[in-house]
Structure 1
Amino acid sequence: MEDLFNLQARLGRAMEDRDLWPGDSPWVRPAMESFPRHLFAPDRLWTWNGHAYVPVDRSTDPTVWAELVYGAPADSTITQVSDGLPTSSLSCEDVVADMLDSLMLEPGQPTLELGAATGRNARLLAEQAGPGLVTTVEFDPTLAAAAAANLAATGGGVDVLTGDGGVGAPGRGPFLRVISTYAVDEVPWAWIQQTVPGGRIVTPWGRLGHVALTVAPDGQSASGWVQGLATFMPARGTSQGMEWDQVRGGRPPVAEEPFARDVQQLHRDAGLLFALRVIAPDIRVRTAVDNGAVTVWLHDGHTSWATIEATPKGQGPALARQYGPRRLATELDVAWHGWTIAGAPSLWDFGMTCTRNDQYIWAHDAETGPRWSTTTSPLRAA
């Protein structure tokens, strides 16, 4: 097995080559390199074999284990699987760096983390904030215990709580910085309540991107811009549904028809991809290129799937093949139209505003731009 520190250095160089180390937060790189991934990785990891997640144990397959810990900058390391689906991970190195940069953390700032997982992110936060200033909350008692052990072994100074991250850390704080390591469709009001006016909240939203919100001077809302694209695991108890292969199974398509839009644009335009998640939130979209032709995979996690395949060299319209009670390619087309009439905003044109009883995504301007409510519960907060 290659030396783990050599693999760590390889990953660091890949981050540098792709300009992924944040220039505005120079503390991030030395912190991440001082506390490498393998110090927090459990002895059992998981990998997808094309059909299911299977375990990889350090004791029996150390080389594969090490490569799972140190993949490419955009590769996460699955550390827990429950009921066949991933429920915890060491996040992608590029996403960790990007979110820490988005947090704009300064020394001396009390910080709350939701989702301790392995404890690595809390350790990085503590390196910048200082000892005794970071509180992290983990829902799973087993993970909380492992995170506490990892944090103790790497310097301590972090308070690890077991509980529901959705309620924050009642009785602690208030906090100047709040960061979540799991995705929420609706930002819990408790997070805003426990953050001081002017404080900053960074959280993944909707399993596709992350936002940075600033709490208003009166504490009655929080608003801010989308910071980047990435896929995150949802909060515990959130139904993830099935993976593409599980929805697809061996079922042949029941409908085939032309798809008139340019799927090349969908593959390369992050703003379009994010907009589709906003307008059609329960359609999961993935794209890839093979021999210059784009293929799009769509599914709803339950009963319906579709593929859209571009013709080689763009000769003629793409072909959509669909199965299930929903026609997902058709729904995608409708959502795409909604993005177009909103002015085709880029990823960086989107933002989010949260109030006690509502949450919405907006484009261009929080007050005057087009907006889409993302509130699903009848009442977000009491």
Structure 2
Amino acid sequence: MFNRTVMAGASSSENPQPEADEEVPDGLVSDSHDDGVELQGTGHPDSPSRPFEDEFIDSDEDYASDYTMPDPTTLFRHENGRQYSIGPHPLPNDELGLAYMEAVAYLFRKALSQHMPDNLVLSSGSAMDGGENADDKPLNVLRVAAGRGEWAIAFADIHPFSNVTALEVAPIFATDWVPPNCRFLIQPNDKTQKGRWSRPFDLVNLGLGCFAGQEIINHAFRYLVPGGRIEIERIVLTPEPDDPADATDPVYTNSRLWTWSRLVNEGMIAVGYPIHDTAEHERMLHAAGFVDIRTTDLSSRRASSSSPPTEGDANIRVETVIAAHLEGISMTPLTRGLGWSKEQVVAMCPAVREEILGSGSGPRLRIHFPMFMCTGLKPTEG
């Protein structure tokens, strides 16, 4: 079992440095597969032990029992005072970056439980058929962009007879316990995180950090069983007025927030991580061959500019989280993508933050960042 946090290098200093003496935590079995690293927990003593099927691993690859975890300093890099994975992923994963991941993931799950209480993911704990013995139905589940690992661990705990595989680009998982039916794979150089798929899956969940495009959606379709389900989680960084009638109001269209959003989205395209909206995801799912495609809007909107966020208003709190992390969200698309300097990015963010929070001389813009879940099924025939 994990006896400490499985994470290397996070720090709140200006130039965070990974711990030099990071080792494989006790109770982990580690292995390499091309550029991947596997972390698997031994589980809780009261949990049933169910070994993973060999077919998950390509037939010409073996697990090495004496594999040693790579030096964590090789899995992270530092740029503009922030820590990133060594791959091209655009979001930082230092202490502030992890705080952002955890906050938006929590708010997304909360909104999902309010809008889709019968959804497979965590909110109900029932398997896809929803039958009387749903909790005992074995499922092979893949979570792409696992973040800190809470989703994968909770799902595996709720479904002890299912196998859950979680992919991430860096060892940022934070947990003291991993069920025996849950494994983590680190693929730092695999942009689409699709390199080690060989087992058929019943469910593929593409997390908020996945930036799902056509390639990985096609890959998910290929490795889902007939009738299998894909789920795409998304928060779009293009703000929308709470009142659609305000969409052409110059107060919004000429705002610093709108300018920031346009530039960040242009930069994300430039670095190869475009943020797709609902229509684009539906089109890509259809092109891949999925059927029964559905999009659930998880956004919340305020009735007036003076309305404070309520306890259940997840999306308003998402905008607050985004406002608090503007620099981290903006740095890669604007510097690496559009050629800005770090100083230019930092200088732009305070005015944008004031418009989101209403903390400056102007009014608080009545906006939300669209948040949705898009799902589809692989046909059972054909």
TM-score above 0.5, yes or no:
no
Return the TM-score normalized by structure 1.
Answer: 0.39
Q: Higher relative contact order at CA 8 Å, sep ≥6: structure 1 or structure 2?
A: 2
Structure with greater proportional strand content = 1
Return the TM-score normalized by structure 2.
Answer: 0.39
